[in-house]
């Protein structure tokens, strides 16, 4: 009896140690080498030939989430210069207009900047399948977003993750919070929903 109790204690302790060790290992480095990333086959010749994430990403403006890169800032600073098209007849569209969303909710108001999004994306990526072009016509749901719909098709998968609440919920609501800012600082060119 005594022996079985101490064995149970030992296996519990072992489980906890293994758990914590994995936890530390998982959080130790910003960029995991390809051969250790859990998806590349370490025996594939590609792991010796392909560029390592650390080599490319460590030179760009740092972030605390996702790829650990502030991708928009990196683009605007000219650290990277990704091609906007590969076909000569493609019209490159950049649209500079902010939209305020979530005007009735409890969280700070969402400011959606078209410019930063159209630096990377084309209008057709979101309109009109994902979001209607008319402001206020699309009903947003944080639950849907967390399930990978709407904004969550990209945010949480390739663009900054959904842990970064205040990057989207960025405009203070009047009368809320310890230091309410009045009036709401509406950015130039913002289109309020109807």
Partner 1 sequence: MALIPGRFVLPLLIGLAGVIPGASAEYGDVVLNRRAEKEGVRPVIFPHWFHRIRFRCKVCHAELGFKMRVGSNDFKMSDIVDGKFCGACHNGDIAWAPDRCDLCHSGKRGLPTGIFGGHETGGPGRW
Write the DSSP string, 98-156: EEEE-SSSSSPEEEEEHHHHHHHS-HHHHTTTTS-SSTT-SPP-HHHHHTT-GGGGTBT
Q: Which stretch binds partner 1 (CB under 8 A): 133-141, 149-157, 166-174, 175-183?
A: 149-157
Shortest spacing between CB 105 and partner 1, in angstroms: 20
| Subset of 94-113 contacting partner 1 (CB under 8 A) | none
Shortest spacing between CB 177 and partner 1, in angstroms: 24
68 binds partner 1 per the rule CB under 8 A: yes
162 binds partner 1 per the rule CB under 8 A: yes
Give the single-character DSSP code of 69: B
Q: Which stretch binds partner 1 (CB under 8 A): 59-67, 96-104, 133-141, 166-174?
A: 59-67
Q: Cα separation of 117 and 184, whole Å?
A: 23
Q: What is the CA radius of gyration of the chain?
A: 23
CB distance 64 to 43 below 8 Å: no
> Residue 37 or 96: which CB sits closer to partner 1?
37
CB distance 125 to 142 below 8 Å: no
Please give the span between the terminal C-alpha atoms of the chain, in angstroms, as a whole number.
Answer: 72
| Subset of 11-40 contacting partner 1 (CB under 8 A) | 12, 15-16, 18-23, 25-26, 31-32, 36-40
49 binds partner 1 per the rule CB under 8 A: yes
Q: Cα separation of 54 and 60, whole Å?
A: 10
Shortest spacing between CB 115 and partner 1, in angstroms: 13
* Residue of 61, 97, 153, 170 that binds partner 1 (CB under 8 A): 153
- CB crowding 74-89: b at 16 or more within 10 Å, else e: bbeeeeeeeeeeeeee
Phi, psi of 126 (to 5 degrees): -110, -35
Shortest spacing between CB 136 and partner 1, in angstroms: 24
List residues near partner 1 by CB under 8 A: 12, 15-16, 18-23, 25-26, 31-32, 36-41, 44-47, 49-51, 53, 56-57, 65-69, 71, 80, 82-87, 90, 92, 119-122, 124-125, 145-149, 152-154, 156-158, 161-163
């Amino acid at each position: 009896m005594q022996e079985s109790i101490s064995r149970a204690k030992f296996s519990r302790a072992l489980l906890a140690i293994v758990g914590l060790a994995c936890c530390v290992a998982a959080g130790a480095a910003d960029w995991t080498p390809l051969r250790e990333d859990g998806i590349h086959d370490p025996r594939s010749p590609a792991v010796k030939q392909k560029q390592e994430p650390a080599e490319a990403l460590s030179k760009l403006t740092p972030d605390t989430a996702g790829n650990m890169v502030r991708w928009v800032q990196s683009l605007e600073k000219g650290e990277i210069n990704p091609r906007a098209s590969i076909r000569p007849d493609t019209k490159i569209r950049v649209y500079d207009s902010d939209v305020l969303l979530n005007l009735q909710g409890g969280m700070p108001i969402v400011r959606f900047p078209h410019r930063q999004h159209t630096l990377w994306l084309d209008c057709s990526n979101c309109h009109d399948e994902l979001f209607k072009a008319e402001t206020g016509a699309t009903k947003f749901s944080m639950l849907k977003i967390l399930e990978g719909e709407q904004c969550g098709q990209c945010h949480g998968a390739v663009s900054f993750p959904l842990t970064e609440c205040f990057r989207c919920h960025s405009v203070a609501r009047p009368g809320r919070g310890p230091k309410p800012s009045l009036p709401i600082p509406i950015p130039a060119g913002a289109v309020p929903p109807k």
